[in-house]
Amino acid sequence: MSAISTDQPLLDVRRITKNFGNLVACNAIDLVIRAGEIHALLGENGAGKSTFVKMLFGSLQPVSGQIIWKGRPVSISSPAVARSLGIGMVFQHFSLFDSLTAAENIALSLDKAIPLSDIASRARDIGNAYGLPLDPNALVGDLSVGERQRIEIIRCLLQEPDLIILDEPTSVLTPQEADRLFVTLERLRSEGRSILYISHRLEEVKRLCDRATVLRHGKVVAQCDPRRETAASLARMMVGNDIGIVRRDAPAIGEGSALLEIAGLSQPSRGPFSTALRDMRLSVHAGEIVGIAGVAGNGQGEFFEAISGEVTQAGPDTIRIGGVAAGQAGISRRRQLGAAFVPEERLGHGAVPELPLTDNLFLSRYSTDSRTYLRGRSLKILAQDALQSAVKRIVKMMDVRKSGENPDASALSGGNLQKFIIGRELDRKPAVLVVNQPTWGVDAGAAAHIRQALIDLARSGSAVLIISQDLDELLEICDRVAVMNHGTLSDALPIGEVTLEKIGLMMGGVDAGHSVAGQASVGGMA
């Protein structure tokens, strides 16, 4: 790190502009960051935050404007140039190779060749120093999202950056992991480094950040000290009016028929870092939302794969959908039985980035709706008109903001793609919906929209299962909550019996769920 005088900004961005076709994603944005400050960049989905920081990191080029770095105008023509200047970035979507170890992934991103053993020991040291413990020899494919994020942060810190850009860092973390990250960030600040922090979680912005710049439709609409604002006033600056409140009537009591039944689901671990599932039991009934809480990496990913049919089971009865044994059925058959699935990772798993929205819709719907979306008797042709009108319907229902009629999935901002993927599954009115992390990276307004849509689906008679690390979200919308810990699933407690403290204990492995009186009558257990 080279020192700069305290009154000279570290970064001074002047009237920077970027457009995609007719859409002006960033419109003459001014922003100043001083040494040793944590600066929040706020804005609803599609406001232009990612586009802005990609220009600072050299992965996108502005059409006009100037970037002054440590008093000198610079042209950041590539990420390598950004890194050499001292600008590091931790992306919202990780760019790690599953089949390589943490250390090998870090080696690939370094601009100099350094022996792997040196990288592994430096990564371990940095991890320990900054409260981000990491096994450099672990295979990335076996790690949880939270652990993958640690690799990204450590590989960024290895380059000794003066400015670290973090895009939605806590959206994948548990409250405890987020607290640990804040300690790391405060430590970096005390070392004189600066952080540009994108987050939709306004409470944490208030707690952590020294200044905030708010974008709306690509323009700066406010700059403020977030500690002097309320979460509501920050949200108002972002959207220009008040955020909708999720409406829920009395919790459902699980008296509808069981539409998703999991009975004795066990699965060996598929590698040294994957979690074995042990005798899981749960029923989700028509009309209710059941939530699964838990620290990342306790089997949530494996559980989702087992329910969705990405990994099938030996016993047909371990999973029943709509009363039909489906344990040996693949994903298409489970869809035909009325189930729909939204995975955690939207790019590459929930959607194919380089395909347009119509094709992405077709890929998830052809097994259930081939009559609607395919024409011709033997020569099957995509019914583009039907696909386009379905995309329009979904875009309207979920308020997806996009540029162009039918853009590629990768051209949607993260939150808007999430709204599209959830809308694509809701559009089928599935009898069973299983969603992993429904509002990851989604702004407060869009999160409220998604949560309301999930409640409405359940109240219309479907069974909804949500896996989420956001405990506030689970408490807000679920009728019952179970906790996953080391590949086991607790009883699902009715929401009236759930407190944050009790869930926290269960997440730590304390059997708080079984101590509840009348547990046998809790309607969730098969």
Ligand X SMILES: Nc1ncnc2c1ncn2[C@@H]1O[C@H](COP(=O)(O)OP(=O)(O)OP(=O)(O)O)[C@@H](O)[C@H]1O
If one counts every other C-beta atom within 10 angstroms of the C-beta of residue 461, the result is 13
**Contact stretch for ligand X (CB under 6 A) within 282-290, 344-352, 398-406, 512-520:** 398-406
Smallest gap from residue 52 Cβ to ligand X (A): 7
Binding status of residue 414 toward ligand X by CB under 6 A: yes
> Among 10, 35, 42, 46, which residue interacts with ligand X (rule: CB under 6 A)?
46
Nearest distance in Å: CB 169, ligand X: 13
- Phi, psi (degrees; rounded to nearest 5) at 89: -140, 140
One of 55, 295, 361, 412 touching ligand X (CB under 6 A) = 412
Identify the residue whose tokens are 């607790």.
490
Q: Does 25 participate in binding ligand X (rule CB under 6 A)?
A: yes
* Distant-in-sequence, close-in-space partners of 365: CB < 8 Å, separation ≥ 6: 372, 373, 390, 424, 428
DSSP state of 408: B
Q: Which helix (H) or strand (E) holds 53?
A: helix 49-56
Contacting ligand X (CB under 6 A), which of 149, 199, 413, 485?
Answer: 413
Using CB atoms within 10 Å of the CB of residue 352, give its burial: 0 to 12 exposed, 13 to 18 middle, 19+ buried.
middle
- Give the burial string for 134-169 (b: 16+ CB within 10 Å, else e): bbbebbbbbbbbbbbbbbbbbbbbbbebbbbbbbbb
CA distance 23 to 404: 9
Kindly state whether residue 201 participates in binding ligand X, applying the rule CB under 6 A: no
> Which among 19-27, 62-70, 113-121, 315-323 is the span making contact with ligand X, rule CB under 6 A?
19-27
Interaction between residue 27 and ligand X (CB under 6 A): no
Q: Does 51 participate in binding ligand X (rule CB under 6 A)?
A: yes
Is residue 403 involved in binding ligand X (CB under 6 A)? yes
* 44-52, 72-80, 83-91, 315-323 -> range binding ligand X (CB under 6 A): 44-52
DSSP SS3 for 291: strand
Q: Name the segment binding ligand X (CB under 6 A); options: 48-56, 392-400, 452-460, 484-492.
A: 48-56
Q: CA-CA distance, 472 to 287, in Å (whole number)?
A: 21
Task: Pick one of 9, 37, 39, 43: the residue that binds ligand X (CB under 6 A).
Answer: 43
Using CB under 6 A, which of the segments 138-146, 172-180, 367-375, 406-414 binds ligand X? 406-414
Site string for ligand X, 416-435 (x = CB under 6 A): x-------------------
Q: Among 216, 334, 365, 402, which residue sits at the site for ligand X (rule: CB under 6 A)? A: 402
Candidate segments 6-14, 38-46, 364-372, 459-467, binder of ligand X by CB under 6 A: 38-46
Quick check: 308 binds ligand X (CB under 6 A)? no
Q: Are strands 381-382 and 374-375 parallel, antiparallel or unpaired?
A: antiparallel
Contact assessment for residue 29 and residue 199, using Cβ atoms and an 8 Å cutoff: no
CB-CB contact of 419 with 425 (8 Å): no
For ligand X, the binding residues (CB under 6 A) are: 20, 23, 25, 43, 45-51, 401-403, 411-416, 443
